[in-house]
Amino acid sequence: MIEPLDILAFGAHPDDVELSAGGTLLRHRAMGKTIGIVDLTEGELGTRGTVETRYAEAKKASETLGLTFRTNLQMSDGFFQHDKSSLIKIIEVLRAYRPKIVLANAISDRHPDHGRAAKLVAEACFLSGLTKIKTSFNGIDQEAHRPQSVYHYIQDRYQQPDFVVDITPFLDQKMAAISAFKTQFWNPESSEPNTPISSKEFLESVRASMQVHGRSIGVAYAEGFTTERQIGVSNLFDLT
Q: Give the DSSP per-residue string, 111-157.
A: SHHHHHHHHHHHHHHHHTT-TTS--EETTEE------SEEEEE--SS
171 assigned to some structural domain: yes
User: Would you state the pLDDT for residue 87?
Assistant: 98
User: Would you state the pLDDT for residue 188?
Assistant: 87
Is residue 75 a contact partner of residue 46, using CB atoms and an 8 Å limit?
no
CATH number for position 121: 3.40.50.10320
Q: How many domains, in total, are found in the chain?
A: 1
Is residue 107 a contact partner of residue 115, using CB atoms and an 8 Å limit?
yes
Does residue 79 have a pLDDT over 90?
Answer: yes
Looking at the chain, the whole-number percentage of residues with pLDDT higher than 90 is 92
User: Would you state the pLDDT for residue 18?
Assistant: 98
The model's pLDDT over 19-76, given as tens digits with 9 standing for 90+, comes to: 999 999 999 999 999 999 999 999 999 999 999 999 999 999 999 999 999 999 999 9
238 assigned to some structural domain: no
What whole-number distance in Å separates Cα of residue 44 and Cα of residue 34?
A: 29
Looking at the chain, the whole-number percentage of residues with pLDDT higher than 70 is 100
234 assigned to some structural domain: no
Does residue 191 have a pLDDT over 90?
Answer: no
Section 192-206 average pLDDT:
93
User: Would you state the pLDDT for residue 228?
Assistant: 93
The model's pLDDT over 122-148, given as tens digits with 9 standing for 90+, comes to: 999 999 999 999 999 988 999 999 999
Section 204-232 average pLDDT:
96
- What domain range includes position 98? 7-229
E runs forming strands in the chain: 7-11, 35-41, 69-75, 101-104, 136-137, 140-141, 149-153, 163-166, 222-226
Contact partners, residue 105, CB within 8 Å, separation at least 6: 10, 11, 12, 16, 113, 114, 115, 117, 118, 121, 152, 153, 155
Higher pLDDT, 51 or 191: 51
Give the pTM.
0.96
- Categorize the per-residue pLDDT at 194 as very low, low, confident or very high, splitting at 50, 70 and 90: very high
User: Would you state the pLDDT for residue 207?
Assistant: 97
